[in-house]
């Protein structure tokens, strides 16, 4: 998250490495360079509003969203998992969204790509369950970052989301709902009419 990671880059021992999750060569190079990795954070993501579910650009926008938000996670995980599996303790954090459980037609390509990434996260966690690698899915609503500039809604602070995520990681959890709205939304999933059919009040 751009605003929150500014300080990160100044931490002693942190070496920034440029990577494009849509470009396998940069991923391979990063994995070769960062062979001491014990924590992989799949944070890169893009979003775009569309005119509607039948708009002309929905296929192109979906392809673009999936390339970064889904295949990006798959590519980077594939490259780093062999590194992580050699470590006595390793973890993967996948940055997801409350959108996987919300009907938001203007964000349909983004929502679909994040739902795919959520599914992949769950398959990966189960696949790695006997290796001791922790897989943490982060779900959150609007966060005050560059992605949401110009959207006038209440937003969680990046610092709070990051703090809750690392607390959940330290506690050995598999998922974190990093704002109150997402906690409420997830609590509706077992209801007759869950939030992905009728969003709870406040959404
Ligand atoms: N902000 C929200 O309300 C919100 C809510 C739920 C989930 N999320 C998720 O949180 C994550 C971070 O988003 P953000 O809000 O911090 O957005 P942001 O401020 O726009 O930052 C997005 C980050 O992703 C990087 N990125 C985009 N495409 C990339 C690619 N192909 N390869 C490598 N890096 C790429 C960007 O790098 P460059 O700057 O170099 O382009 C930037 O660092 C995303 O996965 C997003 O879906 C955000």
Please report which confidence band the pLDDT of residue 2 belongs to, taking 50, 70 and 90 as the band edges: very low
Cα-trace Rg, the chain? 17
Q: Please give the number of the atom of ligand 1 that sits closest to the Cα of 67.
A: 31
Ligand 1 pocket (Cβ < 6 Å) reads 1-2, 19-22, 43-47, 68, 72, 95, 97, 140, 142-143, 145-148
Quickly list DSSP for 143-168.
BSSGGGTT--S--B-HHHHHHHHHHH
Q: What pLDDT is attached to residue 12?
A: 86
How close is the Cα of 197 to the center of ligand 1, in Å?
Answer: 27
Inter-residue contact 140 to 156 (CB < 8 Å)? yes
Q: What pLDDT is attached to residue 11?
A: 81
Q: What pLDDT is attached to residue 3?
A: 43
**pLDDT, tens digit, 9 for 90 and up, residues 171-195:** 999 999 999 999 999 999 999 999 9
How close is the Cα of 125 to the center of ligand 1, in Å?
Answer: 22
Question: Nearest CA to 168 among 94, 73, 74, 85?
Answer: 94
Please report which confidence band the pLDDT of residue 132 belongs to, taking 50, 70 and 90 as the band edges: confident
Q: What pLDDT is attached to residue 8?
A: 67
**pLDDT, tens digit, 9 for 90 and up, residues 66-119:** 999 999 999 999 999 999 999 999 999 999 999 999 999 999 999 999 999 999
How many Å apart are CA 124 and CA 149, to the nearest integer? 32
Inter-residue contact 165 to 136 (CB < 8 Å)? yes
Q: What pLDDT is attached to residue 7?
A: 58
The protein residue whose alpha carbon is closest to atom 41 in ligand 1 is 44
Average pLDDT, the chain: 94
Inter-residue contact 111 to 48 (CB < 8 Å)? no
pLDDT (average), residues 150-155: 90
Q: What pLDDT is attached to residue 4?
A: 44
Inter-residue contact 83 to 31 (CB < 8 Å)? yes
2 vs 195, which has greater pLDDT? 195
How close is the Cα of 192 to the center of ligand 1, in Å?
Answer: 34
Which pair of structure tokens corresponds to residue 62? 């979906």
How many Å apart are CA 129 and CA 122, to the nearest integer? 11
Indicate the CATH number of 2-187 among 3.40.50.720, 1.10.10.10, 3.30.56.10, 3.40.50.10320: 3.40.50.720
Q: Please give the number of the atom of ligand 1 that sits closest to the Cα of 138.
A: 7
The protein residue whose alpha carbon is closest to atom 34 in ligand 1 is 44
């Amino acid at each position: 998250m751009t605003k929150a990671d500014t300080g990160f880059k100044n931490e002693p021992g942190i070496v920034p490495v440029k990577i494009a999750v849509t470009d396998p060569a940069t991923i391979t190079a990063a994995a070769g360079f960062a062979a001491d990795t014990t924590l992989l954070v799949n944070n890169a993501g893009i979003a775009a509003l569309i005119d509607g579910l039948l708009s002309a650009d929905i296929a192109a926008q979906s392809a673009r969203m999936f390339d970064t938000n889904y295949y990006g996670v798959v590519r980077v995980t594939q490259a780093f998992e062999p590194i992580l599996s050699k470590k006595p303790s390793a973890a993967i954090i996948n940055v997801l969204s409350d959108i996987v459980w919300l009907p938001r037609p203007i964000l349909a390509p983004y929502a679909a790509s994040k739902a795919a990434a959520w599914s992949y996260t769950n398959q990966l966690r189960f696949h790695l369950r006997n290796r001791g690698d922790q897989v943490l899915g982060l779900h959150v609503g609007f966060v005050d970052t560059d992605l949401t500039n110009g959207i006038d809604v209440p937003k969680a602070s990046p610092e709070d989301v990051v703090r809750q995520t690392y607390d959940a990681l330290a506690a050995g959890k598999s998922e974190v709902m990093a704002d109150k709205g997402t906690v409420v939304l997830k609590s509706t999933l077992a209801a007759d009419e869950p939030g992905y059919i009728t969003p709870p009040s406040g959404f």
